[in-house]
Amino acid sequence: MKIRFFLLLICSLAFADEHTDWQTQSYKQSKHLPDLHHAVDVKLSDEMQPPAEFVLKEGRKITCETCHGLEKIAETAYDKIDKNAPDFLRKDGYKKLEIFCANCHAKKAHERPNIHLMLNDDGTLKKANCLFCHSEINEQRDKKRNLADAKLRLPVEKVCLACHLKTPHFNAVEHTDTKLAADSKSSARNMKEHLKTLETEKGIRMPLGENGAVLCVTCHSPHPEGVLASKNPTGRQVPGDAKKGVEYEKHSWSEVIEADKRDRLEKLAATLPPYQRIKNEVLLRLPAKDGALCLSCHEFEN
């Protein structure tokens, strides 16, 4: 750990000047925009009608002040800008960024389709949805296939990240950073054994990646029920309505858990989402609601 820290420190020092040059200057001086920032000085089309607060420059052009409410933000050095100020983005921008964007952009037109809904009403495949992830369509839906034969457009450990965050839920990174390699410790070997037993005895496959890497698809089934035949171990999953998605319900434990975490969260100046019990679970290979999914790998002495 120390070695890593040391190497990263050297690395950051070597590149420090490049990172800080533009940050100590204003946009007017550097003409540099932060990564993933919206373009400025572009002319809006006539169809786009932003709210009155979003002031445009002459010729319907966007400036920094169009979206940001801070005074003279374009003349303020980036490292002096208060990003936590309430008016940093107009109209409560950071509360939900896609709502902020929808102030100008048509939300419906930019919504991504749910490609996990892969079946038409008559049970046939929505082939276009398959081709988001696969370069070829698998017509033999009852045949067990290895990940290597899935003809994915991206490596299996990355394909979900094309749409989803690497951190979609708590404990996701902790799992996907884990490799149950064959030469690892006995607990990891036990986990691999459990997964093998699950497949041979119960006909449920929880696939691992290279070196036993835990993947998103180890626990989540990207295909809804019925896309792969149920006798296909890769197709076995929790029954549920994929259209509804995951549903949660409020639960009285929420208050207890909030009290339990309060002091520690205050020290971190952070918050955690309230505890909610799962009501409807979908696209999971085993139910998480009763712990069966976790117990497919984890075992306890007592």
Restricted to residues 185-244, the positions that interact with other proteins (CB under 8 A) are: 185, 187-188
- Residue 245 structure tokens: 């998605």
Our CB check for other proteins shows the closer of 41 and 266 to be 266
84 contacts other proteins (rule: CB under 8 A):
no
Phi-psi region of 139 (alpha: psi -120 to 50; beta: other; left: phi over 0): alpha
203 in Cβ contact with 223 (< 8 Å): no
**Could you say which of 47, 95, 170, 201 contacts other proteins (CB under 8 A)?**
170
Our CB check for other proteins shows the closer of 23 and 138 to be 23
DSSP state of 85: S
**Could you say which of 141, 256, 282, 283 contacts other proteins (CB under 8 A)?**
256
Residue 243 CA from chain centroid, whole number? 19
Site string for other proteins, 277-296 (x = CB under 8 A): xx---------xxxx--xx-
Tally of CB atoms within 10 A around 64: 21
24 in Cβ contact with 78 (< 8 Å): yes
Amino acid identity at 244 = K
111 in Cβ contact with 101 (< 8 Å): no
214 in Cβ contact with 185 (< 8 Å): no
Our CB check for other proteins shows the closer of 146 and 171 to be 171
Our CB check for other proteins shows the closer of 76 and 221 to be 221
Our CB check for other proteins shows the closer of 73 and 198 to be 198
Angstrom distance (rounded) from CA 32 to CA 64: 12
Angstrom distance (rounded) from CA 165 to CA 135: 22
CB 189, min distance to other proteins, A: 12
Q: Which of 230, 233, 219, 236 is nearest to 297 (CA)?
A: 219
Residue 150 CA from chain centroid, whole number? 22
Applying CB under 8 A, the site for other proteins has a residue count of 51
8 contacts other proteins (rule: CB under 8 A):
yes
Restricted to residues 105-134, the positions that interact with other proteins (CB under 8 A) are: none
Our CB check for other proteins shows the closer of 152 and 181 to be 181
138 in Cβ contact with 145 (< 8 Å): yes
**Could you say which of 106, 128, 154, 257 contacts other proteins (CB under 8 A)?**
257
CB 8, min distance to other proteins, A: 7
Residues that bind other proteins (CB under 8 A): 1, 3-4, 7-8, 10-11, 14-15, 165-174, 178-179, 184-185, 187-188, 253, 256-257, 259-261, 264-265, 268, 270, 272-273, 275-278, 288-291, 294-295, 298, 300-302
